[in-house]
Amino acid sequence: MPPPTDEPKPVTPRLPQDLQRRMHRCLVGDSVPSLLIEAEGCDPAPPLVIWLHGRTATKELDPGRYLRLMRHGISICALDLPGHGERFDADLQRPERVLDVILQMVDELDAAVADAQNRLHADPSRLGIGGMSAGGMVIASRLTRTHPYRCCVLEATTGSWRDQRSRPMFSNRPDEELRALDPMNNLDSWRPIPILAAHCRADEWVPWIGQERFLDTVEALAPHPGTVERVLYDRTGAPHEHVGFGTHSADVKERELDFFVRNLLGGLS
């Protein structure tokens, strides 16, 4: 996770016109700021992808991801994490507060998704979810319980929280709490679904070894091999080899698009 910043609240980037024509901003669930984007095409109940950004980012980050999905007939709901974007709170963006942000978002997620699904008239049987860094940790935690998702994308994140023990987010937490919260220790109700995990082996903030351990563990719970796809890079040129995928950013988005199309649209492109 990136270091703290004393910079003022970031300016919301201007989104592409093609996106603006099919999107609207609203509060969903328990007043979670969202960006809802309607899929192109004539499907009366299109699939829906939920996207969760990382710490110090906002739901408007990476509009190219949303354009790709929208143009392929998939609706999108992007949510601001607690303390981010439209609910900016500098304190919640500190590294020491990351776990608080994650746990609050886990609690907010179900109501927000149900509301977004209704507003976008999405097919409840074709829900996907994806997230980067802190957003991905929200997903790893949420998937340990009964959930509605058909597939998920995990970017530069981890489901093995003990491997992040030395990070500020866990520095003031007792070992018992970490053990109780760690997704790796809560897999009794895990339902295997297709996962695409994108990661840089040189990531300085979320080491690949922990995520590799998590993915190997959940893949072993599946009735057949191949449920977990790994997209790995040795180097990307991104800051700390963590924030985005640098020169491989477009490649990652295309691979994720292909993954969601295969799993939510039956391979139609």
Report the candidate in 211, 189, 207, 199 with the shortest Cα–Cα distance to residue 245. Answer: 199
- Give this prediction's pTM: 0.92
Q: Report if residue 217 sits inside a domain.
A: yes
Span 68-79, mean pLDDT? 97
Mean pLDDT of all residues in 3-31: 76
For residue 8, tell me if it sits in a domain: no
What average pLDDT score do residues 23-37 get?
96
| Range name among 13-27, 49-63, 76-90 with the lowest pLDDT average | 13-27
Q: What residues make up the domain containing 65?
A: 17-264
* Confidence at 269, pLDDT banded by 50, 70, 90: very low
- The answer to whether position 74 is within a domain reads yes
Residue-level pLDDT at 167: 93
Taking Cα atoms as reference points, which of 269, 49, 75, 262 lies closest to residue 152? 49
Residue 215 has pLDDT above 80, yes or no: yes
Average pLDDT over residues 76-105: 96
CB 245 within 8 A of CB 233: yes
Q: Is residue 5 part of a domain?
A: no
75/156 Cα distance (integer angstroms): 23
Instruction: Provide the domain count of the chain.
Output: 1
Report yes or no on 115 lying in a domain. Answer: yes
CATH code of 232's domain: 3.40.50.1820
Give tens-digit pLDDT for 112-171: 999 999 999 999 999 999 999 999 999 999 999 999 999 999 999 999 999 999 999 998
> Could you tell me if residue 12 is inside a domain?
no
pLDDT category of residue 18 using cuts at 50, 70 and 90:
confident
pLDDT at position 267 is: 55
- Residue at 1 is within a domain: no
